A and B are shown apart, each in its own frame.
Chain A
Amino acid sequence: MDQKLVAVIDYGMGNLRSVAKAAEHVAPDNVRIVVTSNPDEVASADAIIFPGQGAAKACMQALHDTGMIHPIQQAAQEKPFLGICMGLQVLMSHSDENQGIDCLNVIPGNVKHFEFEENSPLKIPHMGWNQIHQEQDHALWQNIPQDSRFYFVHSYYIEPDNQAMITGTTTHGITFPSVLSHKNLFAIQAHPEKSAEHGLQLFKNFLTWNGH
């Protein structure tokens, strides 16, 4: 079998170790996982995992500082690409976080804050195990039951311009898009690396996915 190199992008803002370890835990023998901050390695990898945590502005700054903006925009167009949490949000055009910030514009659309009424019992951040309703078939849903629970922690949610990209939805006060896919790209608001068996299954599916 061909060797496959999967790059976990390190730009100083992610729970990289958790992501890399979860991927390694389920990686087939021919798949090698590397954590990298080297744009050349991102360019030469067969597939990309793009994690992220923290605030949008700090993430964009870190991507800029590490020279990762162009390599990520490029990779997201051409090879299997998995965005996770903030690694989904910064793919959008713009985020309302930090008084508003332009993002990578890989996926046209916005990132908005949850808004609930003053005395709503709903908490922000949306933190814990919630269901993902699979809105369309996808190779990455293989062996993951409909409405499985994944671990979430976020205060902002995405709104893509193109509704056809919505691959999963989740309800917290409102029903919001929690998974997007488009060609070779799949991006999820939850943390598969912290979502026990279903999360591991998602990594397993990604690592064997050819992007079609």
Chain B
Amino acid sequence: MSLAKRIIPCLDVDNGRVVKGVQFVDIRDAGNPVEVAKRYDEQGADEITFLDITATAHGRATTVQMVEEVASQVFIPLTVGGGIRCVEDIRTMLNAGADKVAINSAAIFNPAFVKEASDTFGSQCIVVAIDAKKVSAEGEENKWEIFTHGGRKATGIDAVDWAKRMECLGAGEILLTSMDRDGTKIGFDLELTRTIADSIRIPVIASGGVGELEHLAKGITEGHAEAVLAASIFHFGQHTVEEAKLAMQTQGIEVRL
């Protein structure tokens, strides 16, 4: 018996509503974050991540309210990412009931922010999100770079170096998304995941590319991730979280059932 590997459904939210087509047949309002989160909780999700894509200040206030509502009814860890730029943003989300925040571009513009955040709130609630893309050619030694703006802008920063640096600055976890795989449904970039997971002591959450249940297990067994994150495979009722856990268990992976 030991620590279970985690499965984390990820939801995009805009103005406090779940967007990007969650399609459970038997819930009344698929845009209602409380209903969706409750459903994933019932299925045995180990945590839930909300990615806030809201553009306006008013909309962000609505997201805070949403986190409050979810946190008062769903008693598993909640992570909120998207638009976390300063200590006040973090405080607001934690006070609303989030357990962790994911910091992405703000870490790139100002790495010291990660240190400030972990010094203030503790590493346990600071997740650094890394969007990486392979930049080495076929036959060359593997190299991945950090990208911003949804994978459109290169930063010139090496992904492995960056993960190590984020660990040093106090990140408690790395949410690692392969921008090459995101949305492709062909599975995680396992080399990327393994290279980073093996380079740092803090847990890595693999993300980007899940299309089948076996992809999740591979993220753990071959990618050496501690947790796997997925969206569409769960949203469209293709599989439940419980099915995913059973599939992982048959691969010898310890899960919470």
Contacts and interface: CB of A to CB of B under 8 A. Distances in A.
B166 to A, nearest CB: 14
Interface string A200-211: 100000000000
Given A15-B99, A121-B224, A149-B256, A126 B3 contact: yes
A151 B76 contact: yes
B9 interface: no
Interface in B56-106: 71-73, 75-77, 94-97, 99
Contacts of A129: 3-4, 6, 46, 256
Interface stretch (B17-25, B119-127, B142-150, B211-219): B119-127
A192 to B, nearest CB: 9
B172 interface: yes
B227 A128 contact: yes
Interface residues of A, number: 35
A135 B202 CA distance: 29
Interface stretch (A17-25, A36-44, A67-75, A99-107): A17-25
A196 interface: yes
Give the interface centre of B1, B6, B46, B96 by most chain A CB atoms within 10 Å: B1
Contacts of A4: none
Place the interface of chain B in its size category: 20 to 34
A121 to B, nearest CB: 7
Q: Is the interface of A mostly helix, strand, loop or mixed?
A: mixed
A123 B226 contact: yes
Contacts of B122: 53-55
Contacts of B125: 53
B123 A171 contact: no
B242 interface: no
A182 interface: no
A128 B94 contact: no
Interface in A106-127: 121, 123-127
